Structure 1
Amino acid sequence: MELIAITPNHPVCVQVIKLLEQLIGTPSFSREEKDTAGLLAAFFADKGLKAMREKNNVWVKHPHWRAGLPVILLNSHHDTVKPAASWQRDPFVAQWEGDQLFGLGSNDAGGPLISLIAAFLLLKDRQDLPFNLIMAATAEEEISGSGGIAHVLPQLGPIAGGIVGEPTSGDVAIAERGLIVIDGEAQGVSGHAAREEGTNALYLALEDIARLRNFTFPKVSPLLGGVKVSVTQINAGSQHNVVPDRCRFVMDVRVNEHYTNEEVVAALQAECKSILTPRSLRLQSSGIAEDHPLAKAVASLGWSTYGSPTLSDQALMPFPTIKLGPGDSARSHTADEFIRRTEIIAGIKTYLSVLEQLKFDETWISKV
């Protein structure tokens, strides 16, 4: 594949940046992305592409689809969090200041989304790609909702690998921590605080929390580090003179690729007298094998790779993925969020470079 010359004045770049301005101007909180889904579907239709839509998810297949080739998914999300109270600008007005475009969702993940769309458009007329492409703009990423990528995947068929568009400053995340939120409950016996009565559930919970604080999982990842357990909330008691018979606490657990979420919960429960109940086990850690074509493509380009501490839709994809995109993760969910035009142009070039290097031999084609 020959790389395409990308400049800010390239028609595709101009078109996708205009799309980003429209997306910023259209509120799209998680589960409320109907209007941005409509914008995206109309954008693809205007480019002569048949857009599929389920709920607030929109996707298109490469027009020169060839049976028997492996499928690569290009995916990013068009939902946003709600704006922080400290915004100094209107979060729903796309505002340029020099190279910077301010607006809610500009960085997370508008910049990566439109850069992936641009790469797809720049390749849409190619009839000699060694793989098939699907471009999916999905919903509910910010809440890991069931109506987002998880809803779409069963309809896409087998996928050999994916590029997840998120702001990574152009570095490549080849592993990502999983997440478990766990509700703990210590059970005691109520009594009068003035007498030696009851069993204080708050003390029982504190004993468990101390054990959790000192507990470490033996398998440490060179990319993601150890499993991280944080107790972030606690609640007990109804009034000052009653020994509480229940104490509830919440744990935020970030899992490396050496453990399944089920294994982590079992190990933590073995350390605790409190009852531990995970809210969900679906957000597993992810990683990609060194011999996967996507990993080989990144390695051939000599780019920096890392393990990501933050969660994305990678956690819901049961196939190898990399996370990559323009913008800075540190800007995500912050007031006066922005993306740079130069970052978008670089992002488009980055995605095209990966796809240009992506090669599947007969062994990999047989796997998919």
Structure 2
Amino acid sequence: MTEFLDDVAALARELVRIDSRSFVSNLPLAAAVEAALPGFAIERIDYADAAGVAKRALVARRGTGSGGLAFSGHMDTVPDTGWTEDPWSGRIDGDTLHGLGSTDMKGPLAACIVAARALPERVPVMLVATTDEETSKRGAQEIAARSVLVREAPPAALLVAEPTRMRPVRGHRSHINFNVVATGVQAHSSTGRGRNANWDLVEFLAEMKALYRRLREDAALQDPAYDPPFSDFNPVIDNHGTAVNVTVPKATLRIKFRYSAGVDPDPVRRAVQDAATRHGLAVTEEREGAPPELPADHPLVRLCADLTGQAPATAPYGTDASELQGIAPCVVLGPGDIAQAHTPTETARLSDLARAVPVFMRLAERVAAG
């Protein structure tokens, strides 16, 4: 572990110090990742996100021939909500790295880079660095659709290094985001001349609450291989800044529905669409790729379990594996605890990051050996 500790600490700290929240450009961070990979063939995949912000995903490769392992990590972070100290300080206190993205997932990404660099040059290895994972999975989608390096020399397996405490995750849920819009008439609320769009949502929300309860009670819509077995169905209402003395002209209800490979999402989709039609509401959907899931006896899953000494599991959250699974079979495996992610006191243990490096290297060597 100690032979990798300094390298991982320095690189993870450098990455944390660069602001790469999903709504800002990640070009400075992509440049830092590229600079950390001397001797690798680098492919830059540039695009503009929905707001027109310049983004860059990266694919890096070293070694000859196809096959081998691809490490994957995302460069973006969630917003700095709730932070009371500098989110980008990269402060190191003993064994602890402080900062936004230290666990999710700049620390694990640094461990992947250090492992890839330390492998013998004869071992084929790839690094897939995405962005917009926390929002749209757009970076992973662009790589899957456009990468020349992936197409010319496809990897045999792909490891998404999200923080799992080094327990192999063989499958996870994907989501459908429902965007439901009610339209009212804006006026001073005292005049009686307006129509509040929120009232148009009330009966629809009552049906959604019944659907929420059904998801928690109906075994046919649950998957016992997951904890919890029921799907997430989480509504958020946006009145777009309307003041309390103004009738709301537009109300947007967003519902995130997560489902696993063992759950058919169509009954839920139909229930939402039918209810919206009945109540005169406009509804659109944003879908991730299908939920990725490998059987517990898949060779990649067994190999990860053997190397880590931990039994494979499933996870209720999502990762870029939903978009990258078409490239190669995916396992989610990385240092750190997901409980640290998205918190205003996010930290990573540097020793955990360093301990992951030799495990990643052994995995890459075993995959390359077939």
- TM-score of the superposed pair, with normalisation by structure 2: 0.77
Q: In 2, are the aligned partners of 1:177 and 1:254 still within 8 Å (CA)?
A: yes
User: What are the equivalent positions in structure 2 for 1:111-126 lying under 5 Å apart?
Assistant: 111-126=107-122
Q: Does 1:17 align with 2:9?
A: yes
Aligned partners of 2:306 and 2:252: how far apart in 1? 50
Q: Which amino acid aligns with 1:53?
A: R
How far the C-alpha of 1:59 sits from its partner, in A, is 2.4
Q: Which amino acid aligns with 1:228?
A: D
Match of 2:337 among 312, 323, 328: 328
Q: Does 1:285 align with 2:291?
A: yes
Q: Does 1:311 align with 2:313?
A: no
Match of 1:53 among 44, 48, 60: 44
SS in 2 for 1:307: strand
Aligned partners of 2:184 and 2:82: how far apart in 1? 41
User: What are the equivalent positions in structure 2 for 1:27-38 lying under 5 Å apart?
Assistant: 27-30=19-22, 31-38=24-31
Aligned partners of 1:101 and 1:265: how far apart in 2? 42
How far the C-alpha of 1:357 sits from its partner, in A, is 5.1
Q: Which amino acid aligns with 2:258?
A: R
Q: Which residue of 2 aligns with 1:73?
A: 70
Judging changes above 3 Å, is the alpha-carbon distance between structure 1 residues 143 and 230 closer, same or farther for their aligned structure 2 residues?
A: closer
Aligned partners of 1:142 and 1:241: how far apart in 2? 33
Q: In 1, are the aligned partners of 2:5 and 2:354 still within 8 Å (CA)?
A: yes
Q: Which amino acid aligns with 1:257?
A: A
Q: Which residue of 2 aligns with 1:82?
A: 79
Aligned partners of 2:284 and 2:312: how far apart in 1? 31
How far the C-alpha of 1:210 sits from its partner, in A, is 2.5
Q: Which residue of 1 aligns with 2:143?
A: 152
How far the C-alpha of 1:241 sits from its partner, in A, is 11
Judging changes above 3 Å, is the alpha-carbon distance between structure 1 residues 159 and 212 closer, same or farther for their aligned structure 2 residues?
A: farther
Q: Which amino acid aligns with 1:114?
A: A
Q: Does 1:92 align with 2:88?
A: yes
SS in 2 for 1:81: coil
Q: In 2, are the aligned partners of 1:80 and 1:142 still within 8 Å (CA)?
A: yes
Aligned partners of 2:122 and 2:98: how far apart in 1? 34
Q: Which residue of 2 aligns with 1:139?
A: 131
Aligned partners of 2:9 and 2:129: how far apart in 1? 16
Q: In 2, are the aligned partners of 1:62 and 1:133 still within 8 Å (CA)?
A: yes
How far the C-alpha of 1:159 sits from its partner, in A, is 4.5
Q: Which residue of 2 aligns with 1:196?
A: none
SS in 1 for 2:19: coil
- TM-score of the superposed pair, with normalisation by structure 1: 0.78
**Larger radius of gyration, structure 1 or 2?**
1
Moved more, 72-81 or 252-261: 252-261
SS in 2 for 1:289: coil
Aligned partners of 2:181 and 2:126: how far apart in 1? 45
Q: Which amino acid aligns with 2:84?
A: W
Q: Which residue of 2 aligns with 1:212?
A: 208
Q: Which amino acid aligns with 2:128?
A: A
Match of 1:252 among 251, 256, 261: 256
Aligned partners of 1:300 and 1:134: how far apart in 2? 22
Q: In 2, are the aligned partners of 1:255 and 1:284 still within 8 Å (CA)?
A: no
Q: In 2, are the aligned partners of 1:13 and 1:118 still within 8 Å (CA)?
A: no
Judging changes above 3 Å, is the alpha-carbon distance between structure 1 residues 66 and 86 closer, same or farther for their aligned structure 2 residues?
A: closer
Aligned partners of 2:369 and 2:118: how far apart in 1? 21
Moved more, 97-106 or 53-62: 53-62
Structure 1: tracts of 5 or more residues without a match: 1-6, 194-198, 362-368
Moved more, 132-141 or 272-281: 272-281
Q: Which residue of 1 aligns with 2:51?
A: none
Match of 1:344 among 347, 350, 353: 353
Q: Number of residue pairs matched?
A: 339
How far the C-alpha of 1:109 sits from its partner, in A, is 0.6
User: What are the equivalent positions in structure 2 for 1:264-279 lying under 5 Å apart?
Assistant: 264-270=268-274, 273-274=278-279, 275=281, 277-279=283-285
Aligned partners of 2:243 and 2:88: how far apart in 1? 43
Judging changes above 3 Å, is the alpha-carbon distance between structure 1 residues 213 and 85 closer, same or farther for their aligned structure 2 residues?
A: closer
Structure 2: tracts of 5 or more residues without a match: 47-55, 190-194
SS in 1 for 2:30: helix
Q: In 1, are the aligned partners of 2:103 and 2:163 still within 8 Å (CA)?
A: yes
Match of 1:233 among 223, 230, 237: 237
SS in 1 for 2:222: coil
